Amino acid sequence: MDPGLLFLSLSCPPQGDAAGGLHLPAALGVVAYPTWALTASQRSDAARQWSSLGPVQRITWLLEAGDEASAVTILRRMDGPMPPALQTVLAGWTARCLAEFRLPAGAGPVAVVGGSLPEARLAYDDVMNHLDLPVRWAGPLVIVIGNDPVSGLPPGETRFARPACPLLRLPEIPAPAEVRARLAARLTPLVLALQSPPERGWPPWLVMGLSQIIGATAGGLGPSPKAMLDRRAQAGLIALRRILEAPAEEVDPHLAEALATALTVPWRRGTLPMVLDRLRSGASSEAAIAGATGATLADLLVQR
């Protein structure tokens, strides 16, 4: 009998065990089934279909079948510390990625493929120091220069927020005076996408605002809290509320920068992870800001 037929008659989800086997509910009881008898395709089908199998087992089977995109989807939904078994899986995934790029095991936190970009480490540090968020990936963050095909980077995409050697493509290198700022702004959405975002992603105003701030700071032109307060006050409460719910194409980047600045000034910067936690739990942007900072939108019209 084709083992795949076993999955078609299930009325209850199967369970995995520590040895990687499957316990299949059947008409006459639970049947233990050895997964070595399944093909890689059948295991990956089970991993995509059954969340009851557990994330480590599902991710392992998906990677064995070469389905990185589905593995990334599962990992992006996980928050909190990664279990040791998952760290082992990520270590193997990272080793394969490094081999594909011909990068050494000790490549550092950021690596460049396709050319030289000394400013890459500076831009990376700008982002990580400003956001002060945990590193939720394994291996270096890989910056690809140029448009040559890259293993793991979907066609037409400029970034891939996978948890092993995440990828950012830089099709063209900006003018020397702009490299650090432009690169920091481009890295910011990638780092945020690796922070277990909600199913619908982080609000566009937040991603855009933080990218604006960090890019400007990396270029030596960080926003003035007083100027950003004036911008918020001039826009008014209705405009602030509107931008919180606006799709990306309707977000005013300057107002997004002004609002995000209120979350990253030195006296509130430590609240950004709490804002993300509340958004991740389903809170609205307005509720997340108030709950994490103790400041309402009305307060942010008069407070730096």
Judge whether 268 lies within some domain.
yes
Residue 283 covered by a domain: yes
User: Does 261 map to a domain?
Assistant: yes
Q: Find out whether 133 and 191 touch, Cβ atoms under 8 Å.
A: yes
Structural domain of residue 278, as residue ranges?
204-301
Whether residue 2 lies inside any domain: the answer is no
Is 250 within a domain?
yes
Q: Is residue 258 part of a domain?
A: yes
Looking at this protein, which amino acid is placed at residue 193?
A: A
Nearest Cα residue to 212 out of 186, 185, 193 = 185
pLDDT tens track, the chain, 304 positions: 445 444 444 445 655 555 555 655 554 455 565 666 677 788 888 888 877 778 888 888 898 888 888 888 888 777 777 778 888 889 999 999 999 899 988 888 999 998 889 999 999 999 999 998 989 899 999 999 988 888 778 777 899 998 999 999 998 888 888 999 999 999 999 999 999 999 899 999 999 999 999 999 999 988 999 999 999 999 999 999 999 999 999 999 999 999 999 999 988 888 999 999 999 999 999 999 999 999 999 999 999 8
The reply to whether 262 falls in a domain is yes
Beta bridge partners of 144: 113, 169
Distance CA 47, CA 66 (A): 13
The residues that bridge with 44 in the sheet, in sequence order, are none
Q: Is residue 294 part of a domain?
A: yes
Strand boundaries in 34-128, DSSP class E: 110-113
Are the beta carbons of 244 and 203 closer than 8 angstroms?
yes
8 A C-beta contact, residue 161 and residue 72: yes
Question: How many structural domains is the chain composed of?
Answer: 1
DSSP-assigned letters across all residues of 30-41: EEEE-GGGS-HH
pLDDT at 9: 44
